[in-house]
Each structure stands twice: as structure tokens, then as C-alpha cells.
Amino acid sequence: MKKLLMFMLLLMSLAVSAETGDSLITVDWNSIKAEVRANPQRVQNLLDEFINVDSDLTMTAKDRILAVYGRTYLNNGSDMSIEIDMMKVRHDGKFEEAATIADRVLAKNPLNTNALISKIYYFRKLSGSDPDKEWMTSDSLKVYSVRLSRILDTIFMTGDGSREHPFSVTSVGDEYNFVNFFLGILKINGQMMIEKTDRLILGDTSEVYTSPDIYFDIKRVLELEAGVFCLDGNEIE
């Protein structure tokens, strides 16, 4: 895990957008939902550009946020059940099987951070065990690592981790992956939900983040989980 963390932190330092700056862009879920309803193809086009690792990604910060958060109104959590299966086998150390299931997850949601990390785990392991496949693993690592970097970088634009300005996420996995691979903090001592935010109690700090806890806006997470598991979500009509 620590080796992967060092690898990902190196990528983050190379991929972080100059647009993050000091200004925060609060995610307005109602406006994003309305935009997706009115112009779903525009949001899909932004998403396609966002995941194209060969592009220079000249999108504005607002368009990046529309792509990342608007995507949830295009697929409405259709990847979540498959993701559960993927995480079960990954926790069992079956990285190749997890990577195979991750392909199915990413087909539903190309921005699923747990699936991207499952692919990175697998290709990192493959690159160390089979030098003959170095060319393939290098290209594959770039595809998944740059995409993950862009997602976490976009999350970073939306808050500062305080209760007043929480980072907006679209899954619980986003929270932990952001803390681990963007902030470089591995130790998390606890989690509690306060209304529509999650508070993680951190067991460590980093050069990027020094507060003892961090807050995430989970409004959309709750909607997606309700829609998928309780059949009571807010989907596009």
C-alpha cells in the first residue's frame, strides 16, 4: 500500500491542475442536475474529454466539475452493485479478478475511483512480476493513473475539508481514495455522518493537509445509495 501511495503521490504532483488555486467552487447539485436534464449530450461530451488522457484538458474548472458530478445523473449509480463484488475480491488479494470486474464497473462509470485503483494495483503488480509486459503496463498505468489524478484534483477544487466547506464526492470510496492518494494520509481513525456530510477523523497529517479531521459533502452519495439499494433515488425523469 505504501509503495502504491508513493507512486500515486508522484503522479498527483505532476497532474494537479493549475486551476485549483485558492478559490473554491462549491458544487451546486440542483444546477448540475438541471444542466444534465437540459443538455445530457453536452455533459457526456465533457466527460469524454475529461477521461481522454491524450488531451491537454483545457476545460475550465466549472466544466470539469460538471463532467465529474454531472456524470452521476447520467448513470444514476448503475456501477455500485458491481463495485461491491469487485471490492470483495480485492480485499481477498485477488487483484487480477478485481481488475477484470473493474472493467465492468468502468463501463458503467468511467470515474469510479475504486475501480481505477483496482486497475492500478493490478498493473503495478504485473509490471513487477513480468518485465516482458512493461510496455503494456506502462501505457495502462498512464490511462488509469492520469484519470484518477484528474478526478481527485477536481474534488480538491470543491472545498477545503472544513465543515463549512466540505469536499464534494459521489461515493464513499472517493472520500478514502482522496485522503489516501491525494492528501497522502493513510491512517483514518473514525468516520461519522453529520446530516449530509461525512466526517473522517484522521490519524495523521501531511504537507498537503494538517487538520485532525476532514469533511465531505455526501448529499449525492445518499441519493445514489437510496436509488440503488432502496429504490427511492432521485433519477433523471
pLDDT at 116: 96
Domain positions in the chain: 2-16+26-229
**Tens digit of each residue's pLDDT (9 = 90 or more) over 182-191:** 999 999 999 9
Cβ proximity of 118 and 90 under 8 Å? yes
* pTM recorded for the entire structure: 0.86
Q: How far apart are CA 212 and CA 104, in angstroms?
A: 36
Q: Which amino acid is at 154?
A: T
Q: How far apart are CA 21 and CA 190, in angstroms?
A: 29
pLDDT at 137: 55
pLDDT at 4: 56
* Sequence-separated (6 or more) residues with CB below 8 Å from residue 184: 5, 9, 206, 207, 208
Listed in order, strand segments (DSSP E) in 67-196 are 167-168, 188-194
Q: How far apart are CA 131 and CA 144, in angstroms?
A: 19
Q: Is the dihedral of CA 93, 96, 97, 99 positive or negative?
A: positive
User: What phi and psi values does residue 78 have, to the nearest 5 degrees?
Assistant: -65, -10
Which residue in this structure is represented by grid cell 477536481? 154
Which residue in this structure is represented by grid cell 447520467? 74
pLDDT at 187: 94
Q: Digits of tens for pLDDT over the chain (237 positions)?
A: 555 555 555 455 444 443 444 578 999 999 999 999 999 999 999 999 999 988 878 899 999 999 999 999 999 999 999 999 999 999 999 999 999 999 999 999 999 999 999 999 898 887 665 555 554 556 778 889 999 999 999 999 999 999 999 999 999 999 999 999 999 999 999 999 999 999 999 999 999 899 999 999 999 999 999 988 774 444 433
pLDDT at 130: 58
Q: What is the 3-state secondary structure (H, E, C) of 170-224?
A: CCHHHHHHHHHHHCCCCCEEEEEEECCEEEEEECCCCCCCCCCEEEEECHHHHHH
Q: How far apart are CA 68 and CA 46, in angstroms?
A: 9
